[in-house]
Structure 1
């Protein structure tokens, strides 16, 4: 059974590791907080699991530990942020905060990122406008290509996720966070570390046969959601989050799982929608509550105990882990201990 660690202890540990790797204290704390939040909501492939990989890229020169993300193009309802090849969480947070500020005066705002890096789960950034009473939408180009065009074999697309966060009044917010592939590649990496098999339907080999051994993932192809429709979504999301911003797309995407030295130039995009620009925000929240109750209370198939709305299970996981702690499997604990020893930082 995995040990559990309180989120506050996890944040302190990760911040200390980043500082030991040369990241300024304020940036280290910000990124550690977002990574701990990823673990709290159950996005186990995007939190402390990624710490060693980020540090490895910093030490190999593939990521700038002292980056200063900044706006390079700006209009009243839009902005383009250059991440300065730093930790992806910093540039994406700047994009979200900029979009929120602009949406307060313009009603809606779209901000893109170039020169970024892997930034964790999509929902972290869609939630930022939501926490200001807005609707948030996030798109990204994944940090490695694992998806071919529909009917092809060359890996030209990534998991290219989308997240949308919608506030309610009394009900939990509706938060959709999904990859355009059946499974995000981070879930494959978690399965590999834990020595667990993948379910059929996540990946196929190059002959079209089911691939369930995550240790052989580099031999296979992720499957898109909904067949050719998922391929189309991955392409369009990549155009909006990558190509539009001058970020990597297609063959330009660097596999940050295998390459620690190349600049990834990862792209992301944030849309913030001020509900007040379209009507009474409180009336909108009431309508969301009513719709959530309608869906949850609708007729179920035999054997189905409950109908969930997007985000409910993550919210339940967060509430539980806030009390019980974040589970840290033995293999991950050993990796983190070795990382702390290597950097001369306190262990978790």
Structure 2
């Protein structure tokens, strides 16, 4: 089944309204979830609906939060999400950072008492609409990574995303976990009945683990060995510890616990290129670098050199033309959710 962006947004909004969210908030979350799906971030898109709804119904997420600034200076702010949906918290935080960057040239806004907010790139992309650069950091919502050489899972995938505007080329958008694979990709493999590639996870004896349904028995591997472990640590300290949010052993596994608030920490830094000179010239220079890289000599068998964000850009264009595909297992899951809530199915049928 292929669905339009509006169909995805409206389905998610109907579900969130049914479990107590104000319609305006439900529409914001639905729009961001649809955006995630259309840019190809399926592991953090509509497949998360059942999980989000379950946590709200169980009391683990506040459906009507008082999201507010609790600390502030000229170029920074700390946002308390009041245990609301992370999408709402980070949209608010990003908006504050963009406005502060207009005045100060750069701004850093952190969050505490937030929740899972979808793919990391959603929020830096918002700054692109204003011609700005943005960097995003977050503490993941479950620990699947031990310290290098250890077995205790004290770190999460702790993602980072960076968005850099261009003039004529697609924007440069890096969105990556500090592990070889984000846990959302593991969940997607499990839902589809597929196996994981060797190198994503190992068991506690160090052997490759390829069955995603056994992921609770294993450990995610960091990118670049000990370097990825170091990145996971420092990004977690910046997004979690600095904000008074959960980090390390305090991280709640929201896959297994629907009741306990996660106190998720996130941070976004926005830079206005106008503070460094002509922003149009900056964008044109980025275009030059992008084209030089793409046109550089390729190794045998390599058809194209890709820039970060290009494949997501093409997926989004394709989805805008033809709708985004919903796998049969996911469609069945969403239909079951719709029936349980008494709302119109995504597939158009009635309960």
How far 1:331 sits from its partner (Å)?
A: 1.2
Q: 2:44, 2:256 → 1: CA distance? A: 17
Query: Which residue of the partner structure matches residue 209 of structure 1?
Result: 207
Query: Which residue of the partner structure matches residue 263 of structure 1?
Result: 261
Query: Which residue of the partner structure matches residue 328 of structure 1?
Result: 326
How far 1:37 sits from its partner (Å)?
A: 0.3
> Secondary structure of the residue that 1:45 maps to in structure 2?
helix
Query: Which residue of the partner structure matches residue 48 of structure 2?
Result: 50
Normalised by the length of structure 1, the TM-score is: 0.99
Unaligned runs of 5+ in 2: 347-351
Q: 2:184, 2:67 → 1: CA distance? A: 25
> Secondary structure of the residue that 1:165 maps to in structure 2?
strand
Unaligned runs of 5+ in 1: none
> Secondary structure of the residue that 2:261 maps to in structure 1?
coil
2:248 pairs with one of 247, 250, 254 = 250
Mapped pair 1:231 → 2:213: no
- Deviation readout 1:83-126 (Å, 9 max, x if unpaired): 11011000111110000000000000000000000000000001
Query: Which residue of the partner structure matches residue 349 of structure 2?
Result: none
> Secondary structure of the residue that 1:267 maps to in structure 2?
strand
RMSD of equivalent CA atoms:
0.6
Q: 1:213, 1:279 → 2: CA distance? A: 51
Mapped pair 1:29 → 2:27: yes
Mapped pair 1:296 → 2:294: yes
Q: 1:304, 1:178 → 2: CA distance? A: 22
- Deviation readout 1:117-142 (Å, 9 max, x if unpaired): 00000000011112111101000000
How far 1:68 sits from its partner (Å)?
A: 2.3
1:137 pairs with one of 132, 135, 138 = 135
Query: Which residue of the partner structure matches residue 86 of structure 1?
Result: 84
When structure 1 is superposed on structure 2, of 92-101 and 331-340 the one drifting more is 331-340
- Deviation readout 1:235-274 (Å, 9 max, x if unpaired): 0000000000000000100000110000000000000001
Normalised by the length of structure 2, the TM-score is: 0.98
Query: Which residue of the partner structure matches residue 15 of structure 1?
Result: 13
How far 1:325 sits from its partner (Å)?
A: 1.1
Query: Which residue of the partner structure matches residue 308 of structure 1?
Result: 306
> Secondary structure of the residue that 1:268 maps to in structure 2?
strand
Q: 2:319, 2:44 → 1: CA distance? A: 16
- Deviation readout 1:175-209 (Å, 9 max, x if unpaired): 00000000000000000000000000000000000
How far 1:69 sits from its partner (Å)?
A: 1.1
Structure 1 runs, 4 residues or longer, greater than 6 Å off: none
The aligned runs of 1:262-281 (5 Å cut-off) are: 262-281=260-279
The aligned length equals 346
